[in-house]
Structure 1
């Protein structure tokens, strides 16, 4: 399995939190589906100093880059323009 860390920041505009909250149920359902298929390792929201969600960090795993791209192309936070700065890096969870 190839593992990836995703660091994604939401837009900074006034509508950003509205877009996030609207897409959130679909995003969480997708994360649950990934978890059921052993593709979601860990993830959650990044918070600003006031506790407002401003982005996300996820560690996911897929058999190959094609599966990763398929997930990426269908992720609601991407398709609904919630995440506006996305960094994806190969990752390896430590086996300790």
Structure 2
């Protein structure tokens, strides 16, 4: 049984590890536009432009069932793009950016770094199974 092959970015593209903080006081707005944010991710995920991502929290929640009780810091995403400028352009279209939740300017300065997923690539090269976990949002 083989694992799902790890895809490397196409020529001229690179994986970028993005940390985009929320602007202060935007927890309620984040929760309000969250469904639109998730809907907007679909095309990026299906095209392979978003490799992985999720919320960053300031503290460990008591339970992961109720996002209204999360203390959000922001988000992290692995984006496939040619440049930091392209990454910022993609983020600026997200509802979290257009509604004022994300502080995209912080990404423009230093919140996106080229990232090399050595662990997944080494596992793939060693012909070991790579397990992917799919999470269904309610």
TM-score range, shorter chain: 0.7 to 0.9
C-alpha RMSD of matched pairs (Å): 2.0
Which structure: greater strand fraction? 1
- Give 4+ residue runs of structure 1 displaced > 3 Å after superposition: 65-70
Residue 50 of structure 1: CA displacement?
A: 5.3
Scaled by the length of structure 1, the TM-score of the pair is 0.79
Structure 1: runs of 5+ lacking an equivalent: none
| 1:10 partnered with 2:34 | no
Take 2:89 and 2:24, find their aligned partners in 1: how far apart are those partners?
Answer: 27
Residue 54 of structure 1: CA displacement?
A: 2.4
Structure with bigger gyration radius: 2
**Corresponding residue pairs, total:** 93
Structure 2: runs of 5+ lacking an equivalent: 1-12, 62-69, 123-138
Residue 11 of structure 1: CA displacement?
A: 2.2
